[in-house]
Structure 1
Amino acid sequence: MTATRTLRVAAFLAGRSLARGNLGVTMMSVAMITAVFVSVMFLPSLIRGEATAITKQVTGTLTGDLTITAAGAPAISDADTYLGQIRATEGVAAATGITRVGTKIAHAGESGVWGVEAIDPDSFAEVFTTPARLIEGEWLSADDARGIVLGVDIAGTDLNDLRGYAGSLKTVHVGDTVDVTLMGGGVSAFQVRGIYRNNFVLSDSGAFIPGAATEQLARSDFAGSVERIVVAAEPGVTSAELVHRIGPIRSDVELHTPDQLAGAIQDQLDTFDLIDSIMRSISLLVAAITVFIITYVDLVGRRRQIGIERAIGIRSSAIVTGYVLKSLLTATVGTAGGWALFRFLIMPLVERHPFQFPTGPSVLETSPGSALQTVVILLTVAAVSALIPAVRTAQMRILDAIWGN
């Protein structure tokens, strides 16, 4: 029997088996493949969505798309000129300068060691999302030499269920006055203009004052300089491209991408990838066992039929191929149903009601490549899982199969 004829006979047997087989068993097989497909897709998509959310938090509240520091010096000199050159560079959406001016904040008998940074409020708001996350008050103005904005993890704001509340100032609200210990050792009073909450532990303990305050209070040795410059890229422009374009402007600076600055976050993302791999392997193992059991039970009930088919001259290869084709068809319908369920029901539902992680809301995120890979793996698993019991049954002696021995 030629390969083409074997395939034709196998297709005929698969079709007849589906048409005359137990509808409940077939539907159960399809439902199981659908469930496995959704489970295999769900966790990786959730992890990918959370990884994207964390990356946005890192770049949107801490590092931008590129951070520039002085090489071998405490600050970047002639900062205004350099900032102008950076902003004029292709692919740069915004840039802002930041300088650390304080080390400690106190209020009403409570105090803690937190960095206080002098900023240009307008350009800072173009680079970071923090100014849009105020839960009290308003953002700073450039000429407000006595105003300060605090992160919720510093202020406390009487939020008793806040993580780290015990280490915060506990009761600070807009309008209160806090004492800031400056880098030079002096202490100066600032009035709280706003309190923000990013829902991100690494950035909710920040404190900012306008750059105008430094001219009167501290760091006069940094006049015209900033400790670091943070750059935001235009959509579609990568950090590597920014390094390539901005790097040649000056040689006395160092350029750092977000992944270089957020090593702890990268470790967390690597952990997510490991969990993803483990859960995907478990789901695929469940799929393989399920298909194997369903096919095996189906074959046990069809041993006599298989024996008769072999007795009338149908080769074992055609019988085995028929069961593999049947399993592939069932798996194809199951994966198609799983993709439709996941893409058009589950993803929109999660988008409307996102998961609330400590880093903020997270939705499901997937790609056609990931879905295609899952389909291919599931079809392969279904084929192999059907092949093994089919081969064992087809190798039985004809009389043993007919008499059910």
Structure 2
Amino acid sequence: MIQALKIAIFLAYKSIIRGNRAVSVLMIFILSLAFINLIFISAILDGVLEAINKQIINNIVSNIVINPQDVPSKRLYIPQARNIMEQIESIPGIATTARHYTTSGTIYFDKDKNGKTKDLSGAITGIDPEKERKISKISQYIAEGEYLEKTDTDKILIGAGLAGGYEEAEEIENLGGVKAGDTVRVAYNNGIVREYKVKGIFLTKFMDADRMAFVTTKEAESILSVSDKASQILVKTDRDGDEDKYLSQINSVNPDLKVKTWNEYMGPMKSVATSFDIIILIITTIGIVVAAITIFILIYVNVVNKRRQIGILKAIGIKEKVIVISYIFQALFHAVLGIIIGLILTLYLLVPYFIANPLIMPVGDVSLSMDMSRIISGVVSLFIAALIAGFIPSYLAARENILKAIWGA
């Protein structure tokens, strides 16, 4: 067997060295593009999911969300919120917490000061700006104006999608171009009406986040006539992905609370991830089939052109399996070079390019997300495709009658 492998390697080497170099270069080029296609599409879609996940964690619900109890009776607020937050923050691995008051209302804006107002209904969240800085990155996305201060009671912070006038966060419905320093009127659902100066506008490039509006905890408690409560408590862990191991410890602080990880809370995102996985599977399968067909055609053409040579090899005693293995080695050789070139182009050209020039999408800036398992899967898939595509034509040719092969009949 070892001797047969040596002969097969020798025949493959001679065939590559003395063969048509243009065909070899073409095969390697096509295989490198096929490999890039296998990992590029999945990297883009994984990048979209990664951008969504980061936006949800960094700007909406952090790692863990705590809501008021709904059994045996539904409550609007979490009582003694500060005490609960202190207990949760004492758990090793918990970075910080922040409480939110969530209410709703209609925001009115008279841009031209002529009595013709634009209005938009939505959620308005009360936050402690100092705590929020540690749990959310909204403060890092201020497009104009300033972030809220703890003592602000007559100011509001609104998202660019709500304000309007920002191409990156353009919505069908917005307030028509609110700027920092403008005055808006908010009619809360409990009947209270307040006027606020817009202290700042933030732009995260994530449509859900850019539709939010914030006032301070002090102002929210005044509107809702509550104290030391919370509509939600957000919990930030030291590391993303470790959320599940803290759920039981947080539940032990107050068993009546509803505790969920960010991905449980944002349920629809699971269906998005599942859909993306299906798309990646379909595109990858098509890419593998195309690569296999390409290798098959090129190997087949090569075999047809060397029928006489194959016949002579059989005539001098070279076994069929040795001839087949030699062509499989040729296919694998081209696949290896194609994969190496594809990896180099991806890691040293495409990835740096997309880091410097991310795709601007409604979920934020999207770059390639290179997952090692996807790369390994692409390598293995292309190898299997090369193995099968190299085997079939060479096997058929090697079984041909010696005289027919030599005479080309």
Residues 298 and 160 (structure 1 numbering): CA distance in 2 closer, same or farther, change over 3 Å? closer
Partner of 1:103: 105
Q: How does 1:181-330 map to 2 (within 5 A)?
A: 181-216=187-222, 218-220=223-225, 222-235=226-239, 238-330=242-334
Partner of 1:4: 2
Identical columns (%): 28
Partner of 2:363: 359
Partner Cα separation in structure 2 for residue 118 and residue 394 of structure 1: 77
Please state how far the C-alpha of 1:160 moved relative to its aligned partner: 7.4
Partner Cα separation in structure 2 for residue 381 and residue 310 of structure 1: 27
> Contact 1:102–1:180 (CA<8 Å) still a contact in 2?
no
What SS class does the counterpart of residue 210 from structure 2 fall into? coil
Partner of 1:117: 125
AA of the residue aligned to 1:230:
L
> Contact 1:176–1:191 (CA<8 Å) still a contact in 2?
yes
Partner Cα separation in structure 2 for residue 278 and residue 329 of structure 1: 27
Please state how far the C-alpha of 1:162 moved relative to its aligned partner: 5.2
Residues 396 and 271 (structure 1 numbering): CA distance in 2 closer, same or farther, change over 3 Å? same
- Whether 1:163 aligns to 2:166 is no
Residues 67 and 184 (structure 1 numbering): CA distance in 2 closer, same or farther, change over 3 Å? same
AA of the residue aligned to 1:80:
R
Question: What per-residue deviation string (whole Å, max 9, x for no partner) do you get for residues 21-56 of structure 1?
Answer: 111111222111111111111111111112111100
> Contact 2:169–2:203 (CA<8 Å) still a contact in 1?
no
Partner Cα separation in structure 2 for residue 197 and residue 349 of structure 1: 24
Partner of 2:152: 144
Please state how far the C-alpha of 1:161 moved relative to its aligned partner: 8.3
Using the TM superposition, name which of 178-187 and 304-313 deviates more. Answer: 178-187
> Contact 1:323–1:386 (CA<8 Å) still a contact in 2?
yes
Using the TM superposition, name which of 112-121 and 231-240 deviates more. Answer: 231-240
Aligned length: 399
Please state how far the C-alpha of 1:348 moved relative to its aligned partner: 1.5
- Whether 1:80 aligns to 2:77 is no
> Contact 1:154–1:206 (CA<8 Å) still a contact in 2?
yes
What SS class does the counterpart of residue 114 from structure 1 fall into? strand
Please state how far the C-alpha of 1:382 moved relative to its aligned partner: 0.5
| TM-score, normalised with respect to structure 1 | 0.94
Residues 162 and 10 (structure 1 numbering): CA distance in 2 closer, same or farther, change over 3 Å? closer
Partner of 1:375: 379
Please state how far the C-alpha of 1:267 moved relative to its aligned partner: 2.2
Question: What per-residue deviation string (whole Å, max 9, x for no partner) do you get for residues 180-226 of structure 1?
Answer: 1224212111111111111111121111111111343x211x32111
> Contact 2:101–2:220 (CA<8 Å) still a contact in 1?
no
> Contact 1:90–1:245 (CA<8 Å) still a contact in 2?
no
AA of the residue aligned to 1:280:
T
RMSD: 1.6
AA of the residue aligned to 2:176:
K
